[in-house]
Structure 1
Amino acid sequence: MPATTGSNQIHTDIVIPSPKSLTVASLMGAIALAAPVHAASDSSQSGTWQASSGIDYSSGSYGDDADTNILFIPASISYQRGASTTKLTVPWLRIEGPGSVVGGGDSGVVTGGMEAVDASGLGDIWLQQSFAVDAIPSDWFYLDLVGKVKFPTADEAKGLGTGAFDYTVQLDFFKPLGKLSPMATLAYKIKGDPDGSDLNNVFYTSIGADYRLTDSVNFGTTLDYQEASSASSDDAIEVFSYLGYKASESTLLTFYTYFGLTDGSPDLGGGIQCRYEF
């Protein structure tokens, strides 16, 4: 999911459904395609803009009798200069189900015991700031420090969001080893409490690897774990796999699928993301 342009910066471009922080979670997308660039120093003082969008669909029972189906369409704009990247994500989503899940993407919370929902609209807006840690020798590993804020713009009454601010602090690691790049994410998510609920703050972790098949194709898999944010749900464990295709010097397509191993995750999901650099 990340793509890079100079320095050690990791750009998280794939928005991934719960529990990912859409964390990407986050080292997905085009990490292998960008690994050679990480080794180069960033002498340019001009910034780089990137725009990305995609579509994600997931379905799962989350321990309920009926499935919850979520359509999630994020649009993002990011600006990278030197070791710093700022990213804004504005999503639209649709939720159909028994009310076991509130919100979508990284804002999604498995709650249980709510009324059935069939609603769509603006989701929660996310603002992300990341910094590449250049002090670490590149022959060790690459590291990004990431901070995120969720603004409660989704309609709480419709079940599209919790109506509360969320905050995330995150570490993204990866280590290029030829065509293979092991990667990992560690994150702590501070959950705001919706009316009538008391959500737990949660830890999130992801481990996996990316393989660069050619100069324009890479693929990878991660295993993702996140603690449950409420007593009525299970911890989330998911397997996420993706294929990245570099259509041009400025355009990257990523196709992905994922499946859950617990009732805290969707049974199955997938999507496509397109990123354009200008």
Structure 2
Amino acid sequence: MKKFFCYRNHLVCAPILAALCGVLLMARAATAAETSVSLGAEYTSGDYGTSSDTNMWYFPVTLRYEADRYMLALTAPYVVVEGTGNVVAGGGMGGMLRTTTIQTSRTESGLGDIELAASHVIAQDAGWRLGLGGLIKFGTADEQDNLSTGEDDVAVQLEAEKTLVDNALFGTAGYKILGDPPGIDYDNVFYGSVGVSHRLDATRSVGAELYAQEAPLPGVDGKSELTLFLSGKPEPKTRLTGYLIAGFADGSPDWGVGVTLKLSR
């Protein structure tokens, strides 16, 4: 039976899990709160610097609890990976390189890596917010079927947002500790993002986000990708978002497309 926590990360994961539970208890005490479920579908394709393409389908279900200053989310995805196995799903549809001698393409599918995320607003004023967030990606997917590295990853990040009338600027800066599967020694990586959104009217908004991440292995590219999105609210408690992805480095997919549906109560 696969271990639930990798040995290298379990001393880090345990206190973070305790902190996340504390966040949920404090969030329940808040007066304004929202519970939601999001359904997603995403397709990406790219060679990731190898001699063949790897195609991935990602179907996440996310349960989210948001209060005034706290957020807690749990994501369980179903993943389909088509490729030779030199690229595996790395969580959140991030492809990860690994060493393999298989030359024949195959298609594998199953439960992906479950992710637990939380954030807390540590400072805010009129029009801006600064938060501290954390994420644990559990290596629950089958690494033999190219669905995961099979190891746990832990990340911590700062989150910032500034609202200017109908426009918003947002960004993140974080550090990720990557679990090492047998035979591979991944480097821990810094990552960050910056984005802008514009409100078209009372229910629709459009925006773009640029994401970059260091390479986890020597001699390969990191991630660099742009996401364009259009979001709308067909109903007061329903949000539908479509997006396109363009990759600019071998560590990212060449392109991708996705949609999410968020239902709140």
Alpha-carbon spacing, 1:181–1:47, altered in 2? closer, same or farther (3 Å): closer
The CA distance in 2 between the partners of 1:110 and 1:185, in whole Å, is 21
- For 2:257, the equivalent position in structure 1 comes to 270
Residue 108 of structure 2, aligned match among 109, 114, 119: 119
Residue by residue, what CA displacement relative to the aligned partner does 1:113-159 show, whole Å, maximum 9, x if unpaired?
Answer: 323542110000001111122x33335x2122111111111001111
| 1:87 and 2:76 matched | no
Amino acid at match of 1:129: A
1:101 alignment partner in structure 2: 87
Aligned counterpart, 2:133: 146
Q: Structure 2: how far apart are the matches of 1:253 and 1:218?
A: 11
Among 130, 142, 146, the residue aligned to 1:155: 142
* Distance in 2 between residues matched to 1:78 and 1:247, nearest whole Å: 20
1:8-58 per-position Cα deviation (integer Å, ceiling 9, x unaligned): xxxxxxxxxxxxxxxxxxxxxxxxxxxxxxxxxxx9625321100110000
Out of 216, 235, 260, which is 2:247 matched to? 260
Given that 1:110 and 1:233 are in contact with CA atoms closer than 8 Å, whether structure 2 keeps it comes out as: no
Residues 50 and 81 from structure 1, CA distance in 2 versus in 1: closer, same or farther, beyond 3 angstroms? same
TM-score, normalised relative to structure 2? 0.83
Higher helix share: 2
Q: CA RMSD in A?
A: 1.7
Look up the match of 2:209: 222
Using CA pairs below 8 Å that are at least 6 residues apart, which structure has the higher relative contact order? 1
1:65-80 alignment runs, 5 A limit: 65-80=51-66
Q: Which SS does the other structure have where 1:106 is aligned? A: coil
Query: Structure 2: how far apart are the matches of 1:154 and 1:70?
Result: 14
The 1:79–1:256 alpha-carbon spacing in structure 2 relative to 1, beyond 3 Å, is: same
SS at match of 2:92: helix
Work out the CA distance in 2 between the residues paired with 1:169 and 1:258: 24
Q: How many pairs does the alignment contain?
A: 234
Q: Deviations over 1:139-195 (max 9, x none)?
A: 5x2122111111111001111111111101011111011111111111111101011
Q: How does 1:190-205 map to 2 (within 5 A)?
A: 190-205=177-192
Normalized per residue, which structure has more strand? Answer: 2
Identity %: 38
In 2, the alpha carbon distance for the partners of 1:125 and 1:84 equals: 20
Task: Report the CA distance between 1:248 and its aligned residue.
Answer: 1.4
Unaligned regions of 5+ residues in structure 1, if any?
1-42
Counterpart for residue 51 of structure 1: 37
Q: By how many angstroms is 1:75 displaced?
A: 0.2
Structure 1 residue 235, shift from structure 2 partner: 1.1
Runs of 4+ in 1 over 3 A off after TM superposition: none
Tell me the equivalent position of 1:21.
none
Q: Distance in 1 between matches of 2:93 and 2:152?
A: 10
Secondary structure at 1:157's aligned position in 2? helix
TM-score, normalized by length of structure 1?
Answer: 0.80
